[in-house]
Structure 1
Amino acid sequence: MGSGKSTVGARLAERLGWAFVDLDAEIVRTQGQAIAEVFRNQGEAHFRQVEHEALLRILNMLGGPTVIALGGGTFIQERNRDLLCQRGATTIYLSGEFAVLLERCGAEQGTRPLAQDIEEFRKLHADRQPIYRSAELTVEIGNRSPEEISSEIVATLEKRNSQSAVPE
C-alpha cells in the first residue's frame, strides 16, 4: 500500500508501449463500489475471492504484453503467485520504507481499509515483506518520482533480456 503501483505501472506500460490494467480499478468497476465498501459490506475474505477472480479474468483476456498493477494483498495469496508464475509474468515489488508508505496512505485515509490503524498497518507491512521479496525484481521507491522508478524498471528489464539472449 502506498508504493505507487498504479501510477508507476501506468508509466511503465507507457514507456514499454504495453497495455495497462489496474486490478483495483477493475474490481471497483465490476463490483460497482469502492474497495473500502467491499471490505466493509462483504468482508476481506469475499474481497480476496473477488480479487482472485478479477486477476484470473484479466490474465485470460490479455491480448499482448500488459503491465498489471496488483493490489497490495494480491501477491500475498499463494494461488495468485502460482497463477502469475504459470503465465510467465515478471513480478516486481515496489519496496518502500514504512514511514514513506504511511505518509502516502495517510493522504488517502478512509480509502485503504487495511491502513486505518497505524500499528496494524506496520505489522501488515512487516508480515508481508518475505512474500513481497519473493518477486523477481525489487525496486526501492525512496522519494523518487514514478518516472524515475519506471526508468529503473525498464533499464533492469532491458539488461535482463540482453543477458538472456542466446547468440546465433
Structure 2
Amino acid sequence: MGVGKSTVGRMLAERLGVGYRDTDDDIVAAEGRAIADIFLEEGESAFRALEKAAVRAALAEHDGVVALGGGAVLDPGTRTLLAGHRVVYLSMDVEEAVHRTGLNVARPLLAVNPRKQWRELMEARRHLYEEVATVVVATDGRTPEEVTQSVLEALELRQR
C-alpha cells in the first residue's frame, strides 16, 4: 500500500515497451465500484475472491507488467501462480508508508490507526512477499524513476 506499484509498474512497462495491467483496476472495472466500497459492503473475504480471480486472469491473459494488490499473496493458489513469473517486491518502512498513504480512508485496511495497522499487515505479509519475490527493491526516499531503474537492473532487463 502506497509503495508506488502503480507508478513504477507503468514506468517499467513503458521502458520495456510492454503493456501494463493492475488487478485492482480490473476489479474496479468489473464491479463498477471502488475497492473500499467492496470491502465495506461485502467484506474482505468477498474482495479476496474477486482479487484471486483477477490475478489469475491477468497472469493468463497479459504478457506485460502486472501490478497486484498488497493482499493478493495471502492466497496460496495465487502464490503458486506467481512461481512461474518474475515478481518484484517493492519494500518500504512504516514511516515512509504512513507519509505516502497518510490517513487515507479510501484504504480500508488502514482506516483506524495507520502506523499500527501497517506494521501488523507487514508482519503478516512480508514473508509471503519475500517467498514469491524474484527480487526485492527498496523504495524509501527514492523517486519512481530511481526505483524503476533499480527494478530493471535487479531483473537484468534491457529497456527498449
**TM-score with structure 2 setting the length:** 0.91
Task: Provide Cα deviations, 1:58-109, integer angstroms capped at 9, x if missing partner.
Answer: 22222xx310010010122211110122xx21111000011101111116x1
Alignment of 1:122-161 (within 5 A): 122-134=119-131, 135-158=133-156
**Counterpart of 1:96?**
92
Amino acid at match of 1:110: V
Query: 2:65 is paired with a residue of what secondary structure?
Result: strand
* Letter aligned with residue 121 of structure 1: W
Alignment size in residue pairs: 155
- Asked if the contact 1:3/1:94 (under 8 Å) is kept, the reply is yes
Percent identical among aligned pairs is: 39
- How far apart in 2 are the matches of 1:76 and 1:9? 21
TM-score of the superposition, structure 1-length normalised?
A: 0.87
Q: Does 1:112 align with 2:104?
A: no
Distance in 2 of aligned mates of 1:145 and 1:45: 34
Please say if residues 76 and 132 of structure 1, whose CA atoms lie closer than 8 Å, have aligned partners that are also in contact: no
Unaligned runs of at least 5 residues, structure 2: none
Shift of 1:57: 1.6
Structure index of larger Rg = 1
Q: Secondary structure at the match of 2:74?
A: coil
Letter in 2 for 1:83: L
C-alpha RMSD of the superposition? 1.5
Q: Does 1:31 align with 2:31?
A: yes
Give secondary structure in 1 for the equivalent of 2:73.
coil
